[in-house]
Amino acid sequence: MADLSTCPPLTRASVIEAHGLIRPFVHRTPVLTNRTIDDFASTPRTAEELKDTPWELTEASKDAPAKPILRLWFKCENLQRIGAFKARGAFHAIERLKREPGWADDGGLSKGVVTHSSGNHAQALALAAQTAGMPAHIVMPHISAAPKVAATRGYGAHVIFSGSTAPERLAVADKVVAETGARMVPPYDHPDIILGQGTAGLELQEQVVEAKTAGVASTATRAAQPTAFLRAPTSVAPSTPNPGLDAIMTPCGGGGLLAGTVLSAQGTGIRVFGAEPSLDGADDCTRGLAQGKRIETVSSLTIADGLRTPVGVHNWAVLTGDTPESQGQGVHGLYAVGEDQIRAALRLLLERMKLVVEPSSAVPLAVALYNEEFRRRVEKEAGPGGWDLGIVLSGGNVSLESFGTLFPS
């Protein structure tokens, strides 16, 4: 990575600058809507649906099902290069490294980069390095899925296998750095990665405003527009400035995407939330925020395999508002869901929107549909007008065989 001393400040302006650097290399992925899923999200769950969940209704609680109004906007990073948002951070890391004073003069281009990853970051860095004409050394656990190994090699990377634990992977990566002089590019815990990932949130904000602007003229005009341009809130007249999104939610694993999205929304009034799986303590950020301390280890076999990592140090600082530029403003909340709820959201995306996404991508939708704590928050804070909620579908790298195990007949 570029030296920390040369990194831009963690601000929205730096996300905008990062977007300018990577724009030639990444897709401006589409933003889609779906009226059926909106209706489902805006319909209160029944007592039967809430049974055997953390939000089961009891006489003692005297709670009623939440009644939020939600209009969902899906940022389709499953259609990004390499099939995931990770391309954004990888390309930004490479472009920043190329601009580091003295890096090229010291043979940096021929030495290349190294990372440790079993999935999307491995492929993203391999592609970014190949595009820049430099070698990439990717340390992958020996249990990595064969298609992911093949894809990483297909982008020209040199794959080195390691054990499956984080210490084992790091030890091999450190050895490669010592032998090659290549620069380490971590999967998520670095300012350049955070700023690159934040460009997805920046685009989402712009695209929703564009869609609303195109759709406010009349009902007839909206009906003739593509899916992403169909909806304008009934409370907004054509002459009223377009408010865009009320909130954005992203998955949270290492926290690069979520932290970057927080930065992308600075000063806009847009709330930013994170979504995690709850199985076996995979909700480390949710628990860490409640305890006021970052949780450093996670050991979970959640189906949302991209979210099995603990939040990084730099990412945690952004999420808690503990950076020099944040003025105490961080993420607005984290919410978790179970495996059955993730599967249900994944099925909706596949069957209703015809979108192939990996389980990690479905976690924010699962929160919007099933987490009563979040839904009550929307009902309370939004009132009868509801919220326009942006959801980042983080990736689509899932095999047909995996779908078979997720949805056995």
> Going residue by residue through the chain (409 aa), what tens digit of pLDDT does each one get?
667 778 899 999 999 999 999 999 999 999 999 999 999 999 999 988 998 889 988 866 667 899 999 999 999 999 999 999 999 999 999 999 998 888 887 888 899 999 998 789 999 999 999 999 999 999 998 888 788 899 999 999 999 999 877 788 889 999 999 999 999 999 999 999 999 999 999 999 999 999 998 874 333 343 444 444 434 333 333 333 446 999 999 999 999 999 999 999 999 999 999 999 999 999 999 999 999 999 998 889 999 988 998 999 999 999 999 998 887 889 999 999 999 999 999 999 999 999 999 999 999 999 999 999 999 999 999 988 999 999 999 999 988 888 888 988 6
CB-count exposure of residue 82 (10 Å: 0-12, 13-18, 19+): buried
Structure tokens at 122: 């491995």
**Biggest distance spanned by C-alpha atoms of the chain:** 71
DSSP 3-state of 368? helix
Secondary structure letter of residue 216 according to DSSP: S
Q: Which one, of 54, 17, 105, lies nearest residue 278 by Cα? A: 54
Rounded to a whole number of angstroms, the distance between the first and last alpha carbons of the chain is 46
51 among known catalytic residues: no
Residue range(s) in the chain whose domain bears CATH number 3.40.50.1100: 31-83+191-406, 85-184
Structure tokens at 216: 């406010």
CATH of 85-184, one of 3.30.590.10, 3.40.50.880, 3.40.50.1100, 2.70.98.40: 3.40.50.1100
Structure tokens at 310: 């603990």
Say yes or no: domain 31-83+191-406 is CATH 3.40.50.1100: yes
Q: Which of 117, 118, 360, 361 is catalytic?
A: 118
CB 277 within 8 A of CB 309: no
111 among known catalytic residues: no
Q: Which of 14, 75, 86, 162 is catalytic?
A: 86
**pTM listed for this prediction:** 0.92
